[in-house]
Amino acid sequence: MNTIEKELENAGFGEVRPRVWAREGRSALLERLAGVDLFATDFDECMHPDITQAETGMAVYRKIAASVYDPHHFALYANMTLFSGPIIAIKLYQKLTGDVKNSRMIGTFQKLARGIPVQYFEEAAEPLVGRFFPGVADTLRLLNRRGVPAGVISLGIDIVIGEMLRRLEEREQARVDFFDCTRVEVDAHGCFRRYDPKHAYYNNEDKRTLLRARVEKLGAKRPLVVGHDRDDMMMFDEAVNLEGVTVGFRPRRETLALLDIAVTAGDWTPIHELLKDALNH
């Protein structure tokens, strides 16, 4: 038993199936899951193992550095070099301390990306599509077949997340019905200008607002929310307030008090299997 599983046991969770822990018995859990009518999940380090905004940013940086003598690229390279340091420092801090809060890098990224063709980010997203956690596409297809709206609520940016979800649907026939994340304004030349002030999200309280809006728009009564770390805590809290179901995928200890279910596996296969059992219950 690993450290997080010991903490789950101490917090009153029991293992209802391999690597799936819950506060209630299997039968009661399946009954609650059978009634979910909206599915919302975080993206980075939840559906996908990487912080995709940082990964695509570094890929674009390498692309520009490879042709730095292009006059346009030289100016972009100088700007990216200035602001890439803080992003790398944040990632290193997270790795060394385990204090994960991806929202910290959002403001810096906007400065780093200014003036870069949006096409570069869309191209950089392509290699990341094949790295979704196993079980993600199966889960989405199951929800699609059952008519449960499924979506993403993230602090990331649309030109990366939207592109990856579009390609996932093309390749896996796994549809996301909505994705709520920071929108990017593009200038007349197709370049990154800034975040859309009306749709720029910087903290986990924004996720609460976005979840509530989706629940109200879709008339949902029991949302199912999947998240990972402290950036998802207010989304979890809102789901609890709405009497929904909360799932922590490889959860951080600070989220445990808000969870109904904790999945300690390395992929989404147990989530898919649990939902399949519930919807056939």
15-70 pLDDT, tens digit per residue, is 999 999 999 999 999 999 999 999 999 999 999 999 898 889 889 888 888 887 77
User: Interior CA angle at 161 toward 66 and 41, to 5°?
Assistant: 145
Eight-class DSSP state of 128:
G
* Counts for the chain of helices (H) and strands (E), in that order: 11, 10
State the virtual CA torsion across 44, 21, 273, 132 in degrees, nearest 10. Answer: 20
Confidence of residue 233 (pLDDT cuts 50, 70, 90): very high
pLDDT in the model for residue 77: 72
Same domain, 144 and 273: yes
Q: What is the mean pLDDT of the chain?
A: 90
Q: Is pLDDT above 90 for 247?
A: yes
Same domain, 83 and 144: no
Do residues 140 and 70 share a domain? no
Task: Using pLDDT thresholds of 50, 70 and 90, give the confidence band for residue 111.
Answer: confident
Which of the pair, 161 or 61, is modelled with greater confidence?
A: 161
Instruction: Using CB atoms within 10 Å of the CB of residue 7, give its burial: 0 to 12 exposed, 13 to 18 middle, 19+ buried.
Output: middle
| pLDDT over threshold 90, residue 105 | no
- On whether both 139 and 63 belong to a single domain, the answer is no
Q: Are residues 64 and 44 in the same domain?
A: no
**Domain shared by 41 and 59, yes or no:** no
* For residue 2, pLDDT beyond 90: no
Q: Are 203 and 103 in contact (CB under 8 A)?
A: yes
* Residue linked to tokens 């956690």: 133
Domain that holds residue 217: 3-49+133-279
Please check whether residues 185 and 248 belong to one and the same domain: yes
- Do residue 102 and residue 209 come from a single domain? no
Considering the domain architecture, whether residues 137 and 101 belong to the same structural domain is answered as: no
Domain tally, the chain:
2
Domain identity same for 23 and 76: no
Can you give the pTM of this predicted structure? Answer: 0.90
| Mean pLDDT, rounded, for 222-251 | 96
Element (DSSP H or E) covering residue 63: helix 52-65
Between 65 and 183, where is the model more confident?
Answer: 183
Domain endpoint, select from 128, 157, 178: 128
Residues whose CB is less than 8 angstroms from the CB of residue 259 and which lie 6 or more positions away in sequence, other chains included: 23, 236, 246, 247, 248, 251
Tell me the longest C-alpha to C-alpha distance in the chain: 64
